[in-house]
Structure 1
């Protein structure tokens, strides 16, 4: 990795220059952060799990026609992805009240929402990623109305698919956060495409067991519940990415298909 040109380092991933024009290599770190990086830790194996889970979900979304930046998984920690211009918004889709929504609106955590709600936050760590309205997006030129129409429609379609997929393995999709990017057309003609350009993993979703409400996501780290990688491993196992291994929580079995 030291010989490659690093393009960007975030809280959970590093982006390197890709082997071909228009590509990047996305490396999943074991770092865990919460509360705008005020809380930090290293969780052995988390990056490996997120790489595999995100690969699994991206491939399923592509099968139903969702355009994504994912090209292929390279190894246990890396993916080859398309280089895009990131839309400076975090897009949050909520099905159940939890986290900041419960605090902001005084809704008891766990209450099912009347309908799925899509929210937007400006990608500015220095400002704490503030919640913004669509009017802000248009006024400040962060995205056009056409782009936002695509983003909202795609987010709701992703939500519908993921709710069904997770319900099939006994997990409730409470909410999730994603990002989108602009991809230039290969021929250089016409407008760019809006595509999904983020990971989807227990780092970016709230996932609760449907029977017990056990948290199987990053809230285990945020709230000091412990067994974070064990929860991520359980998600991967239920999805069929890992084989059940009752004797150990060791995730080295992930390398069996590499």
Structure 2
């Protein structure tokens, strides 16, 4: 395997057959030692976070495969904290897509004059550009098209997939007494077919989940999901 990229929460390796291997780390995003899935810096290291994130990611990707929802997932090895995926090209230099069911985090910080913490939102989709120096600025459908990052038709596909995937995750968590407030997803184009597919991961490290009004930390969430 050839190391091609060292990320905040995982490293990326290229295989000879064109597939990619993601190596999950124990680092999670946050600020001042506090976990925050929306942060663009590594905030802390949690022992076991890599395996926990991969286990949850595998669980949800397999469910998406059953629903024929396109993803980059091929298989995973929990013990080695690795996941093998199809090669995909990101939009521009990378986008993050957040689906919000409750007002919390950066949404609340920006729009708090118009909403209360925990106020219900109807699977609101928000797209931000991955750019640490510019604090991952939000961008609209029209802006993405004007900058030739993706077309308006592709945005519609992105939004539909985001709501479909996020609702599946929300309903699965709800069956275990857990409530999804928001989730951050990433998409790209399949390097071979050009189809828009879900990439990266679906884990406690990129979602906010509550139980009876109390926030659940990523490792505790994994334990609750598989207890």
Q: Same fold (TM over 0.5)?
A: yes
- The alignment partner of 1:238 has SS state of helix
Partner of 2:209: 207
Larger radius of gyration: 1
Deviation at 1:39, TM superposition (A): 5.6
How far the C-alpha of 1:38 sits from its partner, in A, is 5.0
User: 1:238: Cα distance to partner?
Assistant: 3.1
Q: Does 1:11 align with 2:8?
A: yes
Q: CA deviation at 1:235?
A: 2.4
Contact 2:87–2:191 (8 Å) recurs in 1:
no
* Aligned-CA RMSD value: 1.6
Give the whole-Å Cα distance in 2 for the aligned partners of 1:122 and 1:92: 11
CA separation in 2, counterparts of 1:8 and 1:50? Answer: 19
Which of 49, 54, 58 aligns to 1:55? It is 58
Runs of 4+ in structure 1 deviating by more than 4 angstroms, as ranges, are 35-39
Unmatched tracts of structure 1, length 5 or more: 187-191, 218-230, 245-258
- Secondary structure, counterpart of 1:110 in structure 2: coil
1:99 to 105, 120, 127: 105
Asked if the contact 1:121–1:129 (Cα under 8 Å) also holds between the matched residues in 2, the reply is yes
Instruction: Give the number of the structure whose residues are more often strand, by fraction.
Output: 2
Q: How many residues are aligned here?
A: 215
- Give, in angstroms, the shift of residue 136 of structure 1: 1.1
The 1:64–1:162 alpha-carbon spacing in structure 2 relative to 1, beyond 3 Å, is same
Mapped to 1, the partners of 2:130 and 2:98 lie a distance apart of 12
Aligned pair 1:86/2:83, yes or no?
A: no
Q: 1:194 to 1:39 in 2, by over 3 A?
A: closer
Closer, same or farther: CA 63–97 of 1 in aligned 2, 3 Å? same
Residues 237 and 43 (structure 1 numbering): CA distance in 2 closer, same or farther, change over 3 Å?
closer
**Taking structure 1 as the reference length, what is the TM-score of the superposition?**
0.79
Equivalent pair of 1:31/1:41 in contact (CA under 8 Å)? yes
Q: Taking structure 2 as the reference length, what is the TM-score of the superposition?
A: 0.89
